[in-house]
């Protein structure tokens, strides 16, 4: 007999049929002559209530079942007498698949996120994390749907690269050299005997690859893991995170911001509709303002503000910032929060940043001082998207690289793309985990990643 998912069973109209489910016990209550067993199979937030009558052949054996145990239940789906569920299963047969040791830590009570992080291998079995990881899955799906509907081509950019796209030096180096044999040449590590014959690292962004493909296929995107050895133990930085990076040819910064706004609205609306129950849990237990925050994301017109004006607003503000921002410096998290959450109370694009605080590939504006960069800030998170129009003019790009001291030799192929049919093009990177934090109200990035990697944390 074919196994049914609880999610599907809860939607059926006609209950009079025999069904088979498999899952884990949430609770078991024994009554006179029968037991109520709540089973969850991970397909949805709701449990299926099972009525186990003492006439069951192995009724005595069911005493060994406790929270966390795995069972297979065959029985008929019937209208439930109890509150809170439409159907229940009157068991004809219950097979014990795996008992749970009495040390099972997820007994029916609420646990702190900090504690659950220490049992990351078990936390997806809680209601909250089950809901979170179903939303994560649906969000991945709808990202592909959004771009596919618009005719974007999905590119698999490499995870191992030789370049530092962002130029911030936050690289995880990878090597097959035995570290005790590492030799130095002129004060630098000699990688000539290493696997690739030169230094290699985990990618910080798929952008440079995406640009090459946008210059061939028009509109493309990458969606994959990226790695940054930022030693900042914050609530919104992980060492391994996923990024969605669209890249469009014949596209300027304004159209880039238009796409970012349209995408964020589309993804948010989809999740609110398709993950109603799971989002409902977060709105009830994690962030009481979640629904209005998300409606604001979907319905508002996002502000577009130059860096210069943003700094002006910050300087004018009465608020006492821990760090007083000077013109020319990058906004800190407290400044981002102020602009989006307190001042405008909605998403804000800040564009045209000073060139010195942005990477080499961003297009120089006519003022010679700023670049066509944009960051999208959203309430509660701060920066969720970073993007730019790219420098398509070979001579300007080369002098910018010279200025920064980047080796043009290493970037020869990137530079060559500006020699053969170079066009204005733009793109951005959306932090996938930051979007999940926005959608669920979860405040720590460690709690939206199955097995998070952060400084001093790689247990699982």
By the criterion CB under 6 A, which residues form the site for ligand 4AD? 165-166, 205, 207, 228, 230, 237-238, 241, 243, 245, 383-388, 427-429, 431, 433-434, 445
Closer to ligand 4AD by Cβ: residue 69 or 171 = 171
Question: Is 386 a residue that touches Mg ion (CB under 5 A)?
Answer: yes
Interaction partner, residue 424 (ligand 4AD, Mg ion, none; CB < 5-8 Å by kind): none
88, 53 Cβ separation under 8 angstroms = no
Interaction partner, residue 281 (ligand 4AD, Mg ion, none; CB < 5-8 Å by kind): none
Which string of b and e fits 126-139 if b means at least 16 CB within 10 Å?
bbbbbbbbbbbebb
In DSSP terms, which residues pair with 188 in a beta bridge? 185
365, 321 Cβ separation under 8 angstroms = no
In DSSP terms, which residues pair with 53 in a beta bridge? 34
Q: Minimum CB separation from ligand 4AD for residue 390, in Å?
A: 8
Of the candidate spans 55-63, 128-136, 157-165, 384-392, the one that interacts with Mg ion by CB under 5 A turns out to be 384-392
In DSSP terms, which residues pair with 382 in a beta bridge? 378
Interaction partner, residue 24 (ligand 4AD, Mg ion, none; CB < 5-8 Å by kind): none
Interaction partner, residue 75 (Mg ion, ligand 4AD, none; CB < 5-8 Å by kind): none
Q: Minimum CB separation from Mg ion for residue 297, in Å?
A: 19
Interaction partner, residue 387 (Mg ion, ligand 4AD, none; CB < 5-8 Å by kind): ligand 4AD
Of the candidate spans 32-40, 269-277, 357-365, 383-391, the one that interacts with Mg ion by CB under 5 A turns out to be 383-391
> With CB under 5 A, what is the number of residues at the site for Mg ion?
1
Closer to ligand 4AD by Cβ: residue 228 or 400 = 228
Q: Minimum CB separation from ligand 4AD for residue 228, in Å?
A: 5
Interaction partner, residue 454 (Mg ion, ligand 4AD, none; CB < 5-8 Å by kind): none
Interaction partner, residue 428 (Mg ion, ligand 4AD, none; CB < 5-8 Å by kind): ligand 4AD
Q: Minimum CB separation from Mg ion for residue 370, in Å?
A: 16
Q: Following DSSP, what letter does each residue of 377-400 receive, concatenated?
A: EETTTEEEEEEEEB---HHHHHHH
Q: Where does residue 88 rank: exposed (0-12), middle (13-18), buried (19+ CB within 10 A)? A: buried
Closer to ligand 4AD by Cβ: residue 130 or 427 = 427
Closer to ligand 4AD by Cβ: residue 75 or 429 = 429
Greatest alpha-carbon pair distance for the chain in Å reads 85
User: What is the x/- site pattern for Mg ion, positions 336-375, by CB under 5 A?
Assistant: ----------------------------------------
Question: Is 387 a residue that touches Mg ion (CB under 5 A)?
Answer: no
| CA atoms within a 13 Å half-sphere pointing along the CA-CB vector of 225 | 10
* Cα torsion angle, 396, 392, 172, 228, sign: positive
Token representation of residue 131: 């809901």
Of the candidate spans 114-122, 143-151, 210-218, 378-386, the one that interacts with Mg ion by CB under 5 A turns out to be 378-386
Closer to Mg ion by Cβ: residue 162 or 357 = 357
Question: CA 162, CA 167: separation in Å to the nearest integer?
Answer: 12
Closer to Mg ion by Cβ: residue 382 or 386 = 386
Interaction partner, residue 384 (ligand 4AD, Mg ion, none; CB < 5-8 Å by kind): ligand 4AD
Closer to ligand 4AD by Cβ: residue 85 or 365 = 365
| CA atoms within a 13 Å half-sphere pointing along the CA-CB vector of 213 | 20
Interaction partner, residue 241 (Mg ion, ligand 4AD, none; CB < 5-8 Å by kind): ligand 4AD
Q: Minimum CB separation from ligand 4AD for residue 85, in Å?
A: 38
Token representation of residue 213: 């493909």
In DSSP terms, which residues pair with 89 in a beta bridge? 50, 77
Footprint (CB under 5 A) of Mg ion, residues 6-25: none
Q: Following DSSP, what letter does each residue of 247-264 receive, concatenated?
A: EEES--HHHHHHHHHHHH
Closer to ligand 4AD by Cβ: residue 59 or 172 = 172
Q: Which helix (H) or strand (E) holds 133?
A: helix 127-149
If one counts every other C-beta atom within 10 angstroms of the C-beta of residue 322, the result is 8
Token representation of residue 39: 């089973």
Question: CA 231, CA 218: separation in Å to the nearest integer?
Answer: 36
Closer to Mg ion by Cβ: residue 290 or 384 = 384
Closer to ligand 4AD by Cβ: residue 50 or 376 = 376
Which string of b and e fits 140-175 if b means at least 16 CB within 10 Å?
eebbeebbeeeebeebebeeebebbbbbeebbeebe
Contacts with Mg ion, residue ranges (CB under 5 A): 386
């Amino acid at each position: 007999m074919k196994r049914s998912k609880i999610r599907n069973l809860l939607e059926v109209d006609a209950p009079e049929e025999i069904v088979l489910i498999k899952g884990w016990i949430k609770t078991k209550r024994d009554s006179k002559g029968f037991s109520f067993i709540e089973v969850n199979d991970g397909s949805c937030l709701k449990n299926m209530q099972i009525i186990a009558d003492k006439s069951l052949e192995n009724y005595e054996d069911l005493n060994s079942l406790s929270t966390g145990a795995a069972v297979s239940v065959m029985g008929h789906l019937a209208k439930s007498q109890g509150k809170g569920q439409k159907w229940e299963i009157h068991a004809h047969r219950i097979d014990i698949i795996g008992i749970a040791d009495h040390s099972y830590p997820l007994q029916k009570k609420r646990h702190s996120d900090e504690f659950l992080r220490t049992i990351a291998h078990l936390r997806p079995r809680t209601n909250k994390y089950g809901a979170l990881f179903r939303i994560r899955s649906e969000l991945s799906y709808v990202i592909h749907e959004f771009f596919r509907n618009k005719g974007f081509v999905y590119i698999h950019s490499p995870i191992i690269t030789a370049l530092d796209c962002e130029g911030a030096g936050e690289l995880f180096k990878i090597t097959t050299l035995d570290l005790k044999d590492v030799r130095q040449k002129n004060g630098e590590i000699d990688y000539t005997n290493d696997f690739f014959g030169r230094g290699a690292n985990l990618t910080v962004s798929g952008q440079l690859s995406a640009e090459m493909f946008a210059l061939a296929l028009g509109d493309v995107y990458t969606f994959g893991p990226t790695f940054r050895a930022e030693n900042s133990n914050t609530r919104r930085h992980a060492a391994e995170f996923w990024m969605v990076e669209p890249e469009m040819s014949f596209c300027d910064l304004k159209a880039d911001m238009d796409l970012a706004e349209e995408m964020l609205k589309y993804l948010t609306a989809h999740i609110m509709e398709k993950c109603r129950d799971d989002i409902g849990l977060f709105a009830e237990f994690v962030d009481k303002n979640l629904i209005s925050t998300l409606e604001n994301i979907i319905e508002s017109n996002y502000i577009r503000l130059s860096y210069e004006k943003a700094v002006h607003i910050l300087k004018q503000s009465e608020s006492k910032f821990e760090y007083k921002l000077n013109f020319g410096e990058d906004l800190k998290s407290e400044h981002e929060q102020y602009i989006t959450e307190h001042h405008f109370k909605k998403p804000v694009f800040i564009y045209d940043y000073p060139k010195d605080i942005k990477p080499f590939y961003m297009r120089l504006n006519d003022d010679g001082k700023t670049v066509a960069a944009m960051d999208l800030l959203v309430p509660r998170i701060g920066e969720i998207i970073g993007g730019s129009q790219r420098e398509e003019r070979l001579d300007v790009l080369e002098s910018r690289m010279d200025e920064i001291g980047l080796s043009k030799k290493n970037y020869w192929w990137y530079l060559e793309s500006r020699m053969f049919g170079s066009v204005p093009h733009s793109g951005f990177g959306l932090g996938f985990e930051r979007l999940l934090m926005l959608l669920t109200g979860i405040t720590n990035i460690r709690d939206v990643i199955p097995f998070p990697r952060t400084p001093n944390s790689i247990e699982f």
